[in-house]
Structure 1
Amino acid sequence: MKRADDFQERRKHIANLSDEELYNRFWELTEQVVEPLLDLGRKNTTPSVERAVLLRMGVSSLDTQKIVEGCMDRGLMGHGTGHVVYKLSKEKNISIREASELLAKGECWDEVTAMFKGGK
């Protein structure tokens, strides 16, 4: 079965957009798709899920519980523990492993909390 070529018809609503407008439209649509998934994750995560995420990021199994508890104590679970570790690693320009070790030792929590409370 041959598919009818209807590309020109389907693209009419975007045909006159510039590259920049197409780029912006792409990210608007992407946000519409991703936002419900993020919202679902924020509302339905569990410590077990968050530990599993950290393990898949290469965080030591001994450190995952400490990081999850630290996030729970500071109201950061809705951001995702993996996201917390990732943001710290980017902010300090260190590896995920190094960032997770700092958090597991009880270090950098004020910095991380400020990052997320500041809307970053």
Structure 2
Amino acid sequence: MKRADDFQERRQHLKDLTDEQLEAKFWQLAEQIVEPMVDMAKKHTSPSIERSVLLRMGFSSMEARAIVEGVMDRGLMGKGAGNVVYKLAIKKGMTTREAGLQLAEGNLWDEAMETFQGGAK
């Protein structure tokens, strides 16, 4: 069975777009596809998932536990523990390891909280 060639029909809504417009359309559609997954990840994370992320960032299990507990205590779980560490490191001009260790020791939480004031980042 041969498939009917309907390419010319299916491309009608795209045929007059420039390369730049096609690229913008591609990214807009890609965002539509990924958005439900991103939304689900934000709403359905867990301490074990966040510890797993931190372990892959090079933290020990004890360090990861302390960071995740701090993230949970401050209502930042939806931001992601790894993201909290990463954004804090950028803000403070330090490595992610240094930032994470500071958080694990109970330091820099005010700065971490300030980083996420005003919505998701």
**TM-score after normalising by structure 1:** 0.80
Identity among equivalent positions (%) equals 59
Unaligned runs of 5+ in 2: none
Shift, 1:108, TM fit:
2.1
Considering only CA atoms, is the larger Rg found in Structure 1 or Structure 2? 2
Specify the alignment match of 2:64 in structure 1. 64
Residues 77-106 of structure 1: CA deviation (Å, up to 9, x unaligned)? 011111111212232333221221121122
Unaligned runs of 5+ in 1: none
Specify the alignment match of 2:93 in structure 1. 93
Specify the alignment match of 1:104 in structure 2. 104
Distance in 2 (alpha carbons) for counterparts of 1:113 and 1:103:
11
Specify the alignment match of 1:22 in structure 2. 22
Distance in 2 (alpha carbons) for counterparts of 1:112 and 1:3:
57
- Partner amino acid, structure 2, of 1:69: E
Question: Post-superposition, which runs of at least 4 consecutive aligned residues in structure 1 deviate over 3 A?
Answer: 2-12
Specify the alignment match of 2:116 in structure 1. 116
Residues 13, 3 of structure 1: CA spacing in aligned structure 2 closer, same or farther, 3 A cutoff? Answer: same
Shift, 1:19, TM fit:
3.5
Kindly indicate whether the alpha-carbon contact (under 8 Å) linking 1:67 and 1:100 is maintained by their aligned counterparts in 2.
yes
Residues 19-53 of structure 1: CA deviation (Å, up to 9, x unaligned)? 33233322222221222112212222111111011
Residues 3, 97 of structure 1: CA spacing in aligned structure 2 closer, same or farther, 3 A cutoff? Answer: farther
Tell me how many residue pairs correspond in the alignment.
120
SS state at 2:16 partner: coil
